[in-house]
Amino acid sequence: FGLSAVSALNVSEGGDKHLDSFRRRCKLLGDEQPLCVTTNNQRQRYVTKDGKCRVNLGHIKDKSRFISDIFTTLVDLKYVWFLLVFTACYILTWMSFGGIYFLGAWLRDDIAHVHDSQWQACFENVDGFLSALLLSLESQRTIGYGTRRVTANCPEGVVLLMSQSITGSIIDAVMVGCMFVKISRPQQRAQTLIFSKHCVICERDEKLCLLFRIGDLRESHMVDAKIRAKLIKSRQTKEGEFIPLEQSEINLGYDTGGDRLLLVEPQTITHIINHSSPFWEVGAKRLKREILEIIVILEGIVEASGMTCQARTSYTQDEILWGHRFASCISLEKGAFLVDYSGFDKTFEVQMCPLSARDRSRPGGFSHGELHRETRESNRRLWDAESHEKSPRAASGKADQTQPCRLYSKQKAFICRVC
């Protein structure tokens, strides 16, 4: 890319300055830190393990859009700020109408004649702002102690009381509705949907696959559960454009319906690494050098409430284990299947060739279980050779039962020669 960039610039004298500027724009300077790597050489996650997106939105100019959707804005607030807004709405309403009651009583001279039994007051027993505030509170909350009230001696007092009743009903509907939606949000249901700590890459049915596990801790199951995954990775185009967070689709069985789950017991999700997979060219060594992140999204309908729930997690390249398989966590006990969640994250290492799926598919490469067939054939030949070294057992036709343990080192050496 650097040679083509230099030829495209056609620089002669003073071309180094333009070349440095071009490289700076294309993010090619060697002393610059990668975009997705922090100063302590750890990858900056796009999504945390508990599903929170680590993206901060800044310099938003048109913030009036949030006011136009005030209901969603209130629901998205944190509980501390929401309770503060909840309390402030009622207090400001009581104080506002209390001030109006006090102003009306003062203009009609009700305060000066509060102890005059012959005076026809509009706001009865209002002798100051505090008593006007109590009248506002008792009227809006329909407490009605009876000592302070709005009489029929003035029509403006009746209109004011009707206005406060309507305003209080609107505030009750909005605040109680926001509180109900905030408490019953299905995000809390996602706390009982768990993902395995690691992804594994191994062979399944003679195909190289990427596997991870999901489980549901509740007995009330998710309805119409669906799983999907994205690969987040930075990339530089041939034209020099740097794409910091490019998203690639990871097929989890969309064409065959494998992405739709019956999430009763822990499910092992499989991604077959083929020519359309973003891991087609990734082998064991390249996986250690890659800077990538797999985002897993599980969606479903909560059986109890009928609301849609979404759970997320992510896996970085350090959390992808090459040549591992998940241990079984399901057993049959007393006529029912028993799920042992203590073994949910357990994996065990298997012998596997470190070649990528692309290298395995090439002529002369080992693909679709050829390595296992060659290993079994080698084991048979080594078994025969070791068996005939023991003349008494070879003559009787009985093989030494301890041979597999001694053949492990030879089998491992054979796999290294093959790969």
In this structure, what CATH number is given to the domain that contains residue 159? 1.10.287.70
Over residues 228-250, the pLDDT tens digits come to 999 999 888 889 899 988 999 99
Q: Are residues 90 and 173 in the same domain?
A: yes
Q: Are residues 217 and 331 in the same domain?
A: yes
Q: Are residues 303 and 320 in the same domain?
A: yes
Instruction: Round the average pLDDT of the chain to a whole number and report it.
Output: 80
Q: Are residues 300 and 178 in the same domain?
A: no
Q: Are residues 336 and 195 in the same domain?
A: yes
Q: What is the DSSP string of 234-274?
A: EEE-TTS-EEEEEEEEE-SSTTTTTTEE-TTS-EEEEEE--
Domain extent for 115: 72-183
Q: Which of 195, 183, 323 is nearest to 261 (CA)?
A: 195
d(CA 260, CA 298): 10
Lowest mean pLDDT of 30-39, 134-143, 167-176, 234-243, name the range. Answer: 30-39
**C-alpha separations of 134 from 119, 155, 300 in Å:** 21, 21, 49
Q: Are residues 176 and 218 in the same domain?
A: no
Over residues 46-63, the pLDDT tens digits come to 899 988 888 888 888 888
> pLDDT confidence of 397, banded at 50, 70, 90?
very low
Over residues 64-91, the pLDDT tens digits come to 888 888 888 888 899 999 999 999 999 9
89 belongs to a structural domain: yes
Percentage of the chain lying above the pLDDT 90 cut: 42
Lowest mean pLDDT of 48-62, 184-198, 309-323, 388-402, name the range. Answer: 388-402
Over residues 329-344, the pLDDT tens digits come to 998 888 889 999 999 9
Please give the residue that has the higher pLDDT: either 118 or 8: 118
Q: Residue 114: is its pLDDT beyond 80?
A: yes
d(CA 356, CA 25): 33
Q: Are residues 25 and 105 in the same domain?
A: no
Q: Residue 315: is its pLDDT beyond 60?
A: yes
Q: Are residues 379 and 393 in the same domain?
A: yes
Please give the residue that has the higher pLDDT: either 217 or 31: 217
Q: Are residues 159 and 284 in the same domain?
A: no
Lowest mean pLDDT of 187-201, 366-380, 389-403, name the range. Answer: 389-403
pTM, rounded to two decimals = 0.66
Give the Cβ contact number of residue 328 at 10 Å: 11
Q: Are residues 288 and 376 in the same domain?
A: no
Q: And the tokens for 241?
A: 């454009």
